[in-house]
Structure 1
Amino acid sequence: MDDSQTYYFYVLLCADKSFYGGFTTDVAKRFATHLAGKGAKYTRAHRPLRVLYSEAFDNKHDALHAEWEFKHQSRRKKVIFLKKHGITAENCELD
């Protein structure tokens, strides 16, 4: 096992103004997969527009936990999370 691997939790803004949270080892590659319609079932139905947020973790467990936490929040709490991390209504559709 390679202990130097970095894992990422990321949030996408979708065309219907919904958010998608996921985890990966390569955000740019995973986003390209979503754009190609080969990503998650959710992003095949809700076209992703851009990566709003990503956070690096030293281990898979922590990245998966961040993803799980985000996915189990209400939209209001997701917006609060994004605003706390510098994502504003000016650079995405938060409201």
Structure 2
Amino acid sequence: MIKGYMYIVKCSDGSYYTGSTKDLEKRLIQHNNGTGAKYTARRLPVEICYYEEYSRIDEAFYREKQIQGWSRKKKEALMRGENELLPELAKKIFVKRNE
């Protein structure tokens, strides 16, 4: 039995919101009613782009916090299933200083 979900929704302004929940359908309704999160309430409507299922909610929450720190490009690669790109997208980009 699934007890937790990590999810990514796309907001009306094109931004992404990452969250976790025990009930994915109910949470999407809450977001679109404006009661899900302050961030999504100002960017309605939202739609589910991606989710992962977990046997425990704390595992979903841990994954949510991990993905929240990712760049937009890395999140989009995950959503497209391009897992081979994730390590490269995780590398920091260093700006070369003028010498």
* TM-score in terms of structure 1 length: 0.78
Task: Pick the aligned partner of 1:59 from 25, 36, 56.
Answer: 56
Is 1:13 equivalent to 2:10 in the alignment? yes
- Letter of the structure 2 residue corresponding to residue 26 of structure 1: D
- Letter of the structure 2 residue corresponding to residue 61 of structure 1: D
Deviation at 1:15, TM superposition (A): 0.6
CA distance in 1 between partners of 2:18 and 2:42 (Å): 14
CA distance in 2 between partners of 1:66 and 1:46 (Å): 23
**Structure 2: 5+ residue runs without aligned partners?**
83-99
More strand by share: 1
SS in 1 for 2:46: strand
CA distance in 2 between partners of 1:8 and 1:82 (Å): 15
Please give the root-mean-square deviation of Cα atoms over the aligned residues, in Å.
1.5
**Structure 1: 5+ residue runs without aligned partners?**
86-95
Is 1:30 equivalent to 2:27 in the alignment? yes
Question: Number of aligned pairs?
Answer: 82
Task: Pick the aligned partner of 2:75 from 70, 74, 78.
Answer: 78
> Which residue number in structure 2 is paired with residue 42 of structure 1?
39
- Kindly report structure 1 stretches of 4+ aligned residues shifted beyond 4 Å: none
Larger radius of gyration: 2
More helix by share: 2
Which structure's relative contact order is higher, taking Cα pairs within 8 Å and 6+ residues apart? 1
* TM-score in terms of structure 2 length: 0.75
Q: Percent identity?
A: 33
CA distance in 1 between partners of 2:36 and 2:55 (Å): 23
